[in-house]
Amino acid sequence: MRTVIRGARVFDGGRTIPRTDVLIEGDRIAEPDGRPADVEVDGSGKTLLPGLIDAHTHTFDGSLAQALAYGVTTELDMFCLPGNLSRQRELAAGDDVADLRSAGMLATAPGGHPSQLMEGFDASTLEAFGDAVGGFDTIADPGQARRFVEARLAEGIDYLKIVVDDGAVHGARLPALTPQVVAALVEAAHDNGLLAIAHAITAREVAVALDAGVNGLAHVFADAGPEDPVGYDLAARIAAQGVFVVTTLAYFEAITGQTGSADHALPGCAENAVHAARILHRAGVPLLAGTDANPFAPVHGAAVHRELALLTEAGLGNEEALAAATSVPARHFRLADRGRVAPGLRADLILVDGDPTRDIAATAAIAEVWRRGVRQSR
């Protein structure tokens, strides 16, 4: 099947081309060759983008289909129990839902985050995650780190997520991994060729993660406001160490009650998160658009468009925000076959009405979606 999209404005993952043709041949983007196409799509007045990548989700039944409907062609899951992960991977093998990469089972202390959330779920909710009641694997000692990572590799993880969270932002006290355990997990991950991603949402927790040598942070920090010098120092250190940060501004907005979440956070978290994204951007830290979409709030797919708006509020230009949801996560999560509009790459594409390089809200005006070259019904 050959499809040509004619006369569209194209944001290719880094820059905008005012008007051009793009050819899809099979599951790949190809160089236009002038030969007839099976399907022609009029792109005039529209913008073609790489398929969006949500760099922080929690996937359950229905998530990947919902994500694709909103133009999210890849989800990077940050906690998925083994039974659920196996099922979601089977679904993602087709072309009618978003693709999936996953951390599988995260590393946390016994009784640590998110144990308190899982304990609050009833059996029917746990079934949505694909696993029965009974808890999940935890780690308490540095000597267990290699065994823990090897067990996750056997389950097919793509990267390791490490929880450094004592519950402070949520007004709770939770057991947390010691710095020694975090460092041992990072070392074991790196020895096995895995990225190490830390869940850390206070300045102190981020410092522990940076000391351990993580590759990325799954959230911005949310406890340092504009008047607190700690945030500026931390942003400089994150930049100096070459660590990327997944923003999850939509998540912080949700847990402070602005989008109806049942979760709770300390006052000021959402504002502090936007401030953190702003100073991280100014410091030159790579920012990746992620939402922490889950079974409740934020919502899969739709939340990415809110995340893009919040990133522009944090000072990113529109093209920078679009890159944060396309080429930047593809680069940092080693997805070399997507995230850009270029010959030879996967034809994961969205066509939107209007110009999101001028009005970021236009990303939600989706006209067409292709996942691996397959045009989705609208």
- In tens, the pLDDT along 290-324 reads 999 998 899 999 999 999 999 999 999 999 999 99
Give the pLDDT band (50/70/90) at residue 171: confident
pLDDT tier for residue 131 given thresholds of 50, 70 and 90:
low
- Looking at the structure, tell me whether residues 64 and 46 fall in a common domain: no
Q: Do 147 and 279 belong to one domain?
A: yes
Compare 70 and 257 and report the one with higher pLDDT.
Answer: 70
Query: How many other β-carbons are positioned within 10 Å of the β-carbon of residue 291?
Result: 34
User: Do residue 46 and residue 94 come from a single domain?
Assistant: no
What does the pLDDT read at residue 262? 39
- Please indicate, yes or no, whether residues 371 and 241 belong to a single structural domain of this protein: no
Question: Among 26-40, 109-123, 141-155, which stretch is predicted with the lowest mean pLDDT?
Answer: 109-123
Q: pLDDT category, 133, cuts 50, 70, 90?
A: very low
Q: Are residues 23 and 83 in the same domain?
A: no
Same domain as 183, residue 113 = yes
Confidence of residue 261 (pLDDT cuts 50, 70, 90): very low
Distance between the two ends of the chain, CA-based, in angstroms? 19
Predicted confidence at residue 257, as pLDDT, reads: 59
Which CATH number covers residue 265?
A: 3.20.20.140
Structure tokens at 157: 């993880």
Predicted local confidence at residue 122, as pLDDT: 60
Residue 260 pLDDT class (50, 70, 90 cuts) = very low
- Per-residue pLDDT averaged across 244-263, rounded? 77
Q: Can you give the CATH number for the domain in which 32 is found? A: 2.30.40.10
Place of tokens 């991603």: 197
The pLDDT of residue 132: 45
- In tens, the pLDDT along 317-341 reads 999 999 999 999 999 999 999 999 9
Q: In the predicted model, is pLDDT for residue 3 greater than 70?
A: yes
Q: Is the pLDDT of residue 263 over 60?
A: no
Q: What rounded mean pLDDT belongs to the chain?
A: 93
Kindly state the tokens that stand for 174.
Answer: 């939770």
Q: What is the reported pLDDT for 232?
A: 97
Taking alpha carbons only, the member of 245, 139, 144, 150 closest to residue 199 is 245
Does the pLDDT at position 366 exceed 80?
yes
Q: Do 45 and 59 belong together in one domain?
A: no
Question: What is the spatial distance between Cα 279 and Cα 288, in angstroms, rounded to a whole number?
Answer: 14
Using pLDDT thresholds of 50, 70 and 90, give the confidence band for residue 114: confident
Same domain, 33 and 91: no
Q: What is the pLDDT of residue 241?
A: 98
How much is the pLDDT for 36?
Answer: 92
For 223-232, the pLDDT digits (tens) are: 999 999 999 9
Both 183 and 294 in a single domain?
Answer: yes
Same domain membership, residue 263 and residue 366: no
Kindly indicate the confidence band of residue 115, based on its pLDDT and cuts at 50, 70 and 90: confident
Give the model confidence (pLDDT) of 339-357 as tens digits: 999 999 999 999 999 999 9
Q: What global pTM score does this model have?
A: 0.94
Q: Sorting pLDDT into bands at 50, 70 and 90, what band is 135?
A: low
User: How many independent structural domains does the chain possess?
Assistant: 2
Cis check: omega of the bond before 298, within 30 degrees of 0? yes
Whether residue 26 is found in the same domain as residue 121: no
Can you give the three-state secondary structure of the chain, one letter per residue?
A: CEEEEEEEEEECCCCEEEEEEEEEECCEEECCCCCCCCEEEECCCEEEEECEEEEEECCCCCHHHHHHHCCEEEEEECCCCHHHHHHHHHHHCCCCCCEEEECCCCECCCCCCCHHHHHCCCHHHHHHCCCCCCCCCCCCCHHHHHHHHHHHHHCCCCCEEEECCCCHHHCCCCCCCCHHHHHHHHHHHHHCCCCEEEECCCHHHHHHHHHHCCCEECCCCCCCCCCCHHHHHHHHHHHHCCCEEECCHHHHHHHCCCCCCCCCCCCCHHHHHHHHHHHHHHHCCCEECCCCECCCCCCCCHHHHHHHHHHHHCCCCHHHHHHHCCHHHHHHCCCCCCCCCCCCCECCEEEEECCCCCCHHHHHCEEEEEECCEECCC
Same domain, residue pair 224 and 147:
yes
Measured CA to CA, the distance from residue 30 to residue 179 in angstroms comes to 48
Which structural domain, as residue segments, surrounds residue 80? Answer: 52-337
